[in-house]
Amino acid sequence: MAYTFMAESPRPVDYAALHGAVKPIRKRVELFPVPASNGLGISVPQRLRNELAWEEFTQLLEVMKKFEMDVYDLASGAKVGPDTLDSVKSSFITE
């Protein structure tokens, strides 16, 4: 089981540039392109849902902002932003 998110952009994503930007950050969070929606799937395996993975996820959120991507929590359907970050975190952390 994993916790999943979806990042979407209103315009085409430069996946090579995005990969270069997230590569130094990504250790626990799994990412996969979703070209049909100009998006990126984000998955965090159950066993890795802890504070370290949350920190990594929030760093990835900053990168996604630079690529004009909106991130949605697929468990609740909520757009992840300053007003929803705490509630998403409380669902995300399992330890």
Pairwise CA distance, residues 8 & 24, whole Å: 21
Say yes or no to pLDDT of 95 above 80.
no
Least trusted range by pLDDT, from 9-18, 25-34, 56-65, 86-95:
86-95
Q: What is the pLDDT of residue 1?
A: 79
Q: What is the pLDDT of residue 53?
A: 95
pLDDT band at 40 (very low <50, low <70, confident <90, very high): very high
Burial class, 49, CB count within 10 angstroms (exposed 0-12 / middle 13-18 / buried 19+): buried
The domain containing residue 15 runs over which residues? 2-92
Total-model pTM: 0.91
What's the average model confidence in pLDDT over 50-62?
A: 96
Pairwise CA distance, residues 27 & 21, whole Å: 13
DSSP conformation class of 79:
B
What's the average model confidence in pLDDT over 72-92?
A: 94
Distance from chain centroid for Cα 86: 15
Instruction: Give me the number of domains the chain comprises.
Output: 1
Domain holding 60: CATH number?
3.30.70
Closest CA to 27 of 3, 50, 56: 56
Q: What is the pLDDT of residue 29?
A: 95
